[in-house]
Amino acid sequence: MKKNIKVLLSKEADEIYRYLEKQALVSKAERIMLDSINNKFAFIKANPYYGNNLSKGLIPEEYKIKYEIDNLYRVELPLFWRMLYSLTNKDEIEIIAFVIDIIDHKYYDKKFGYKR
């Protein structure tokens, strides 16, 4: 039996997504970003393990506490942005791909403690 896969967004990811939707009407860069995110959603629905699985030690404590996750996947977006999501089994027939953040490269480096 094939599992149903849903993509849900955190409040923060949803705010970025809605901003991109509005700006996509007038900005080519935001339109490219929004199209890429929508394509990645389709890839995740087809294969929830699409993104790069980050080691448990790299998951920021903030995400572990706030979202009670124990896995984190990274998807690269245009302009060095990243989309981060976690998988949860809600029940026997459904997987939730919970998009936690859509962030630029600078914020991603800061969030994961990378130094330039």
**CATH number for domain 4-108, candidates 3.30.2310.20, 3.40.605.10, 2.40.50.140, 3.40.50.2300:** 3.30.2310.20
- Strand 52-54: give its sheet, edge to edge: 4-9, 94-103, 82-91, 72-76, 52-54
| Averaged pLDDT score across all residues of the chain | 89
pLDDT, average across residues 88-104: 77
CA distance 113 to 34: 27
Domain extents for the chain?
Answer: 4-108
pLDDT, average across residues 72-80: 93
| pLDDT at residue number 5 | 87
H/E run at residue 64? helix 61-67
CA distance 99 to 82: 11
pLDDT, average across residues 17-32: 95
Q: Calculate the CA dihedral of residues 62, 106, 51, 68 and round it to 10 degrees.
A: 10
| pLDDT at residue number 1 | 57
